[in-house]
């Protein structure tokens, strides 16, 4: 291997959050390989970064590229970047959503040399060429941010989106695929996450997608996806797939053509407003075994305020239609703590979640805290209400809707991040009680239901229940990772 033409790509996750392949880096690797660069991908647990720094430096790569999403292991990204800069002169590049949304703050850090905004397939190749040949002029590379010799920060114009993403494919051979194969369905023992499209056309006020993908949805062709899954079957003996797209069913015909063509159990996320009898029937017919519905709130006012295209009637209808099919698992995704949300509206959400147990008792939930993502419409509103964005890039790590690290400082005083974390655990326990015939399960469900309905969730007994059920609750982590963005 000619080390002078090597590019290193790195994804860092917390140890419990490494179920999903680093899909974005796998696509960038494909582009680099097609342009005759050697590529190595590292997917590292945040508590293991020091184990790899010297190994990476010894390869003397053209650059080390990090894929960074807002909030996720960002102190580890910063620490590893600092170590590389301390021990070598290798350029450090940050890409993915966070540097795309906060380019100047990232470039203000002394451990980041370049940032890539938007898609990185073409930008990474052009940057590698410039660095390899030492030309030094980066002003013409679209989608790149850099510093000049005097330390001045420059962010070039955005690169247009890739029109035909079939031109690129994920480099599965560059990762240990077995690491990501897990049992997921009742009839799926070797399930693997895949991606079939990019972006989302919706206009949700809380989502980073509106800025990062400019509400543009682009998809692999059905034939491309079917061929890829067939190859994964041959190579790795997978028997099911987790489709991790943000909005898989934008083109329903394509989506069902893929499910019919791969002919294996699958999971996906979709919108409640898509549902009618035919849609639900096709999900069952084409072996969809798990559906994630982004319901977000049980308050009509909040749903309108965040510009959600599905309302509570749509959500009820979707769950009713899916309740006809016992082999389809349903997960509802909800958020608490929107900057305009009152306690009464929050309780509407919690009671709405409880009510859905009466329609499909096996329903599961993810419940997270609202976070004002940079670039989203609710970011500015949150700042007006008192939110203070982190001054240092690495401190965005506390910006995590799945933990209780972040304080809610955007005008919400009726609930805390710790309470939301407790509620998430309680709903997981309630879901387990509804699905399993545990001793006292009906008693536990009824007790917790009453507690949640009045937001009295801080008692000793509730704390003991969460402790006793801590292992089952950890399965929630899998649901979170199964539907993460690249």
Residues ≥6 apart with Cβ < 8 Å to 415 = 336, 337, 343, 346, 408, 455
H helices of 237-329, in order, are 252-262, 277-285, 300-305, 312-322
Per the structure, the count of domains in the chain is 2
Q: What is the DSSP letter of 119?
A: -
Residues 296 and 429 both lie in one domain: yes
The reported pLDDT for the residue numbered 185 is 64
- Does some domain include residue 179? no
- Does some domain include residue 180? no
Residues 148 and 215 both lie in one domain: no
Cα–Cα distance list, 470 to 44, 331, 384 (Å): 25, 19, 38
- Does some domain include residue 166? no
The reported pLDDT for the residue numbered 421 is 86
Residues 117 and 255 both lie in one domain: no
Residues 137 and 203 both lie in one domain: no
Residues 291 and 357 both lie in one domain: yes
The reported pLDDT for the residue numbered 186 is 62
By percentage, how much of the chain surpasses pLDDT 70?
92
- Does some domain include residue 11? yes
Residues 54 and 200 both lie in one domain: no
Residues 174, 39: contact at Cβ < 8 Å? yes
Residues 45 and 113 both lie in one domain: yes
Tell which wins on pLDDT, 141 or 362. Answer: 141
pLDDT over 60 (residue 476): no
Structure tokens at 323: 């309740």
Q: Mean pLDDT, to the nearest integer, of 61-80?
A: 95
Instruction: Write the CATH number for 130.
Output: 3.40.50.280
Residues 131 and 198 both lie in one domain: no
Q: Give the range among 67-81, 97-111, 392-406, 418-432 with minimum mean pLDDT.
A: 392-406
Cα–Cα distance list, 94 to 19, 74, 109 (Å): 22, 11, 11
The reported pLDDT for the residue numbered 2 is 42
Cα–Cα distance list, 392 to 108, 344, 395 (Å): 9, 35, 6
Residues 35 and 142 both lie in one domain: yes
pLDDT over 70 (residue 258): yes
Residues 230 and 379 both lie in one domain: yes
Q: What is the pLDDT of residues 273-320, one digit of tens each?
A: 999 999 999 999 999 999 999 999 999 999 999 999 999 999 999 999
Residues 400 and 450 both lie in one domain: yes
Residues 247 and 123 both lie in one domain: no
Residues 274, 282: contact at Cβ < 8 Å? no
The reported pLDDT for the residue numbered 4 is 53
Q: What is the pLDDT of residues 453-469, one digit of tens each?
A: 888 887 777 777 777 76
Give the global pTM: 0.92
The mean of the pLDDT values for the chain is 90
How does 182-218 read in b/e, with b if 16+ C-beta sit within 10 Å? bebbeebebbbbbbbbbbbebebbbbbbbbbbeeebb
Q: What is the pLDDT of residues 385-421, one digit of tens each?
A: 999 999 999 999 988 777 656 778 898 999 988 889 8
Last residue in a domain, options 155, 174, 201 = 155
With 0-12 CB in 10 A as exposed, 13-18 as middle and 19+ as buried, what is 383? middle
Instruction: Write the CATH number for 214.
Output: 3.80.30.20
The reported pLDDT for the residue numbered 479 is 43
Structural domain harbouring 10: 3-155
Last residue in a domain, options 130, 155, 180 = 155
How far, in Å, CA of 382 to CA of 340, rounded? 9
Token pair 């006809």: residue:
324
């Amino acid at each position: 291997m000619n080390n002078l033409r090597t590019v290193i790509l790195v994804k860092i996750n917390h140890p419990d959050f490494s179920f999903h392949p680093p899909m974005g880096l796998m696509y960038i690797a494909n582009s680099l390989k097609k342009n005759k660069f050697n590529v190595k991908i590292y997917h590292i647990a945040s508590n293991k970064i020091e184990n790899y720094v010297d190994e990476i430096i010894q390869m003397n790569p053209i650059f080390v590229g990090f894929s960074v999403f807002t909030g996720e292991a960002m102190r580890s990204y910063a620490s590893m970047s600092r170590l590389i800069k301390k021990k070598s002169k290798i350029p450090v590049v940050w890409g993915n959503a966070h540097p795309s949304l906060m380019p100047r703050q990232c470039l203000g850090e002394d451990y980041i040399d370049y940032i890539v905004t938007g898609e990185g397939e073409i930008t990474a190749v052009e940057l590698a060429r410039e660095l390899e040949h030492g030309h030094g002029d980066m002003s013409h590379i679209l989608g790149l941010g850099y510093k000049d010799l005097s330390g001045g920060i420059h962010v070039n114009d955005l690169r247009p989106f890739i029109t035909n993403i079939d031109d690129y494919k994920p480099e599965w051979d560059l990762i240990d695929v077995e690491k990501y194969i897990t049992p997921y369905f009742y009839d799926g023992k070797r399930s693997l996450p895949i991606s079939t499209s990019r972006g989302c056309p919706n206009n949700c006020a809380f989502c980073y997608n509106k800025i990062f993908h400019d509400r543009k949805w682009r998809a692999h062709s059905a034939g491309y996806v079917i061929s890829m899954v067939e190859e994964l079957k041959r190579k790795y003996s997978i028997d099911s797939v987790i489709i991790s797209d943000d909005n898989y069913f934008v083109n329903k015909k394509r989506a069902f053509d893929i499910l019919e063509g791969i002919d294996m159990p699958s999971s996906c996320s979709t919108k409640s407003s898509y549902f009618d009898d035919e849609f639900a029937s096709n999900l069952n017919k084409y072996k969809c075994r798990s559906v994630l519905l982004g319901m977000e709130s049980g308050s009509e006012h909040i749903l309108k305020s965040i510009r959600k295209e599905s309302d509570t009637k749509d959500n009820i209808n979707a769950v009713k239609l899916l309740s006809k099919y016992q082999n389809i698992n349903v997960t509802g995704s909800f958020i608490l703590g929107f900057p305009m949300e009152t306690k009464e509206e929050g309780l509407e959400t919690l009671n709405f979640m409880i009510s859905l147990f009466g329609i499909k008792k096996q329903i599961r939930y993810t419940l997270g805290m609202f976070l004002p993502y940079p670039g989203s419409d609710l970011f500015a509103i949150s700042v007006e209400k008192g939110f203070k964005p982190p001054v240092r890039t690495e401190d965005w790590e506390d910006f995590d809707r799945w933990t209780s690290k972040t304080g809610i400082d955007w005008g919400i005083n009726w609930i805390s991040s710790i309470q939301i974390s407790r509620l998430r655990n309680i709903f997981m326990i309630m879901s387990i009680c509804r699905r399993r015939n545990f001793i006292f399960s009906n008693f536990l469900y009824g007790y917790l239901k009453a507690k949640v309905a009045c937001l009295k969730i801080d008692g000793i007994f509730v704390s003991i229940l969460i402790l006793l059920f801590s292992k089952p609750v950890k399965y929630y982590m899998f649901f979170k990772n199964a539907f993460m963005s690249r």
